[in-house]
Amino acid sequence: MLNNFFYIVNVCGKKDIPESWHLGFQEAAAPVMEEIVFFHDQIMFLLVIIVIVVLWLLVEALNGKYYDRDLIDGTLLEIVWTLIPAVILVFIASPSLKLLYLMDEVVSPALTIKAIGHQWYWSYEYSDYQEETLEFDSYMVPTSDLNSGDFRLLEVDNRLVVPINTHVRILVTGADVLHSFAVPALGIKTDAVPGRLNQAGIFIKRPGTFYGQCSEICGANHSFMPIVIEAVSLDRYINWMLSLSNE
């Protein structure tokens, strides 16, 4: 199940099946997630270099018969090993600050959707288009009802449909206990707290179907309330919205 959660993505109808050695992120579908992946890769690159250098110094220190008398008490050495970590922290802080600003709230979103966590399903509300709010529940499809090629524990009966290349704001709350609205491919992980509205902004760059799950332990069926976001073109989104309003 964890492999499905972290690594499966359905892009333009094609399903990318993970391998047992697949240890990377999902393919990013939003600019924020692209920056998260870039930041992760940069930090890992620095960590590998630091670990190799430190291990090499330890091996040399343990195997050497002699040592420099200035190694234990040397002003220049202490200055060097203080400045080097400071420079490394600057390289880490720069993309981190950029990422924080990118993850900031959307000022004027084109679409606002409300996601409500329940024990144990999600419900969604569209309230931007007409006086009557369009809302529906999204339950996990039982294993016995899955079609060929569907993902076990990840398929739902009603998907959350959003248009691509559109700034979307998702308001997240809980109806009973704590939940968490998380879709890794879009870089979203927002707590659903009863009595409080949290928000997250997404901008999906390509069509596809993106899977997530509740990421806050919320009870016995915590593992059985998946999230499925289907990103479509604007024309298909309008047709879907019209069909939903006519039901």
One digit per residue, the tens of pLDDT, for the chain of length 247 reads 333 333 333 434 434 445 566 677 888 888 888 888 888 888 898 899 989 988 988 888 788 776 666 666 677 778 888 898 898 888 888 888 888 887 776 668 888 999 999 999 999 998 887 667 788 899 999 988 888 888 888 899 889 999 998 889 999 999 989 999 999 888 889 999 999 999 888 889 889 899 999 999 988 999 999 999 999 999 898 888 888 777 6
Q: Whole domain around residue 54: which residue ranges?
A: 29-63+72-102
The 10 Å Cβ neighbour count of residue 187 is 24
Please state, in angstroms and rounded to a whole number, the distance separating the CA atoms of residues 32 and 203: 8
Query: What is the reported pTM?
Result: 0.76
Count of domains observed in the chain: 2
151/219 same-domain check: yes
Give me the CATH number covering residue 49: 1.10.287.90
Whether residues 78 and 165 share a domain: the answer is no
Q: Are residues 37 and 126 in the same domain?
A: no
Tell me: do 89 and 154 sit in the same domain: no
Q: What are phi and psi of 223, to 5 degrees?
A: -80, 0
197 part of a folded domain:
yes
Nearest one of 36, 34, 6, 40 to 20, comparing CA atoms: 6
Is 3 domain-assigned?
A: no
Strand partners, 208: 231
Q: 176 and 150 share a domain?
A: yes
CA–CA distance, 32 with 204 (Å, rounded to integer):
10
Q: Give the 3-state secondary structure of residue 21.
A: coil
